[in-house]
Amino acid sequence: MAKSICLFNHKGGVSKTTTTFNLGWTLADQGKRVLIVDLDSQCNLTGLVLGFSAIDEDQMESFYRDRNNLTLQPIVESLINGVTPESLIASNKSNVLKTGNANLFLLPGHLNISDLDSQISVALKIATGIPATKNIPGALPKVLQLIADGINADYVLYDLSPNVGGLNEVMLMSSDHFIVPTSPDYFCLQAINSLAKNITKWHSEIRQFKESHGFDNKMFPIKNAPIFLGAIQQRFRPRNDKPSTSFKNWIDKIRNSINNTLVPDLQKIGCVVDRQRMEKSLSGTNLQPYDLAQISDFNSLIAISQQLSKPVFALTDEDIRSVGKVFGHAEDTMIDSKNNFAHNFQALGQRVLELTA
């Protein structure tokens, strides 16, 4: 069975979608079959993978109309209409979308995921009084689990929207692990404190929901025990390969908030990786618990990356020369930067594999 990882922070603008794509590609590069799932109604992950074709409305309409392309659109429609996960997968012969990496697959998102979000939120509240709704919260996690198993995925990564609705609740609490992407700013610092409160509340709600309906913890897809692997500090400008002073101040504050607020709350409900394991995985680095990685701004490399629908660290020197149209010192600088990102993401992938083993 595939191991599931949620990328979640209910503060937007923290490169959550880019991180999902990059981490998925990194794990795929290291020999794992990976499914990335776009669960944000804005469908940014889908657009990132499809590249420039996502800008052409006719191409997008044709893509979603083609039933050979498995997307969340028919999945959501079926679940809203009461189709069981097993029946849905058994009757669906569509293919999961391949990406530019042979080991990486995408389940494209759709705007209608917000309709299912509303239905899950209501079901979590009224299922005790209306038993017919009790199977709604676990349906999507079960479908995604079956899809991942169908392609023999080793990992499935969920890109969640920045909100605290019912869909995010059940997807986070059904995951084996979760990662919090962060950006060095005041609002992200505030989000860490809010995150601690919401995950604790979700854990209590799901536990009560399962108990009231007699769901077996081993069989029910919402296991309610996601393990926090750490945060990815990113979107900062570097100086001498480290965050510049102004960014470092916020990174330190966010790290302290994670260690002093989020981690203690998660420890109470058994939802954080063991600190000794974390420290071992960070041995030989400048990182501190609970930092999984520090990833600086991609700067001009991001435009080339988006045009070619692959991460900055997967760009070739020829990609940078031909698409970036640079030469001389600028070319050398971009290639050096790309190589540095390749090293950082390879280390991140290895760290994730180690912590989820």
Q: How confident is the model at residue 276 (pLDDT cuts 50, 70, 90)?
A: very high
CB 296 within 8 A of CB 240: no
Q: How far apart are CA 331 and CA 269, in angstroms?
A: 50
Residue 26 to residues 161, 288, 289, 331: CA-CA distances in angstroms? 22, 22, 21, 24
How much of the chain, in percent, has pLDDT values that exceed 90?
Answer: 71
Segment 23-28 mean pLDDT: 98
Looking at the domain assignment, is residue 325 inside a domain? no
More confident residue, 355 or 243: 355
**Residue 199 has what pLDDT?**
97
If 0-12 CB within 10 Å is exposed, 13-18 middle and 19+ buried, where does residue 274 land? exposed
Looking at the domain assignment, is residue 137 inside a domain? yes
Split into its structural domains, the chain has a count of 1
Q: What are phi and psi of 107, to 5 degrees?
A: -105, 105
Whether the pLDDT of residue 242 is over 80: the answer is no
Q: Could you tell me the end-to-end alpha-carbon distance of the chain, in angstroms, rounded to an integer?
A: 13
H/E stretch holding 97 reads strand 97-98
Within 10 Å of residue 270's Cβ, how many Cβ atoms? 11
CB 101 within 8 A of CB 25: yes
Q: How confident is the model at residue 54 (pLDDT cuts 50, 70, 90)?
A: low
Place of tokens 């020369």: 321
- Radius of gyration of the chain from Cα atoms? 20
What's 15's domain CATH number? 3.40.50.300
Looking at the domain assignment, is residue 341 inside a domain? no
Q: Which structural domain range is residue 183 located in?
A: 3-300
Looking at the domain assignment, is residue 46 inside a domain? yes
Reported pTM: 0.94
Return the DSSP state at 30: T
Looking at the domain assignment, is residue 227 inside a domain? yes
Q: How far apart are CA 252 and CA 283, in angstroms?
A: 19
Place of tokens 């981490």: 23
Bridge partners of residue 158, in order along the sequence: 6, 37
Whether the pLDDT of residue 53 is over 60: the answer is no
Dihedral of CA 187/51/19/71: which sign? positive
Looking at the domain assignment, is residue 357 inside a domain? no
Q: How far apart are CA 163 and CA 120, in angstroms?
A: 14
CB 101 within 8 A of CB 31: no
Q: How confident is the model at residue 208 (pLDDT cuts 50, 70, 90)?
A: very high
Looking at the domain assignment, is residue 312 inside a domain? no
How much of the chain, in percent, has pLDDT values that exceed 70?
Answer: 95
pLDDT in tens, 93-113: 568 999 999 999 999 999 999
Place of tokens 């799932």: 37
Looking at the domain assignment, is residue 217 inside a domain? yes
Q: What are phi and psi of 233, to 5 degrees?
A: -80, 125
